[in-house]
């Protein structure tokens, strides 16, 4: 069973992360104009799109979720380091092979490379290990579950 004293820090970290994200979104200030802000990256007839406009739109659309993902990744990494939890390349290889098998192939597209897939797999395994590290299942509970769910095996 997951010890409640271990669950409290995880919940507090999650609340803290969300507070940081909310504070960032609510208080982000406009970047002062500079010469690089006027860098034109696209021309459409007489209209221009500047680097500042483009980056601002990207931040509006993807900024919050990207920041949350970055924070979550770093929190998991720090907790894993603190708890001396690591993931072997063999574990990542095994999971990556499963991903390829499920999708019957693997290909890199312009948005996700093999390296990114492998990093996501590493992150997911670390998170699973962190969330389950204090769970103890007795032999009796295992046998009971198996007996009740034989059709799954």
Residue 56 falls within a domain, yes or no? yes
DSSP E strand boundaries for the chain: 40-44, 47-50
Residue 144 falls within a domain, yes or no? no
Q: What is the pLDDT of residues 68-97, one digit of tens each?
A: 999 999 999 999 999 999 999 999 999 999
Structural domain of 46: 16-23+40-75
Residue 6 falls within a domain, yes or no? no
Residue 111 falls within a domain, yes or no? yes
Query: Which backbone phi and psi does 102 adopt, to 5 degrees?
Result: -65, -40
Indicate left, alpha or beta for 109 from its phi (over 0: left) and psi (-120 to 50: alpha): beta
Residue 54 falls within a domain, yes or no? yes
pLDDT at 28: 57
Number of domains in the chain: 2
Q: What is the pTM of this model?
A: 0.57
Residues 67 and 87 in one domain: no
pLDDT at 129: 93
Mean pLDDT over residues 35-62, rounded? 86
pLDDT at 118: 92
Residues 46 and 90 in one domain: no
Residue 10 falls within a domain, yes or no? no
Owner of token pair 């007839």? 45
């Amino acid at each position: 069973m997951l010890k409640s004293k271990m669950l409290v820090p995880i919940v507090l970290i999650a609340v803290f992360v969300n507070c940081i994200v909310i504070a960032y979104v609510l208080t982000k200030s406009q970047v002062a104009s500079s010469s690089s802000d006027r860098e034109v990256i696209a021309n459409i007839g007489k209209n221009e799109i500047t680097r500042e406009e483009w980056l601002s739109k990207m931040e509006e659309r993807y900024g919050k979720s990207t920041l949350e993902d970055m924070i979550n990744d770093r929190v998991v990494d720090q907790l894993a380091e603190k708890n001396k939890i690591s993931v072997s390349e063999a574990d990542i290889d095994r999971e990556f092979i499963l991903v390829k098998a499920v999708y019957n192939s693997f290909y890199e597209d312009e948005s996700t490379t093999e390296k990114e897939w492998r990093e996501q797999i590493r992150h997911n395994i670390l998170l699973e290990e962190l969330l389950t590290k204090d769970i103890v299942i007795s032999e009796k509970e295992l046998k009971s579950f198996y007996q009740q769910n034989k059709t799954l095996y």
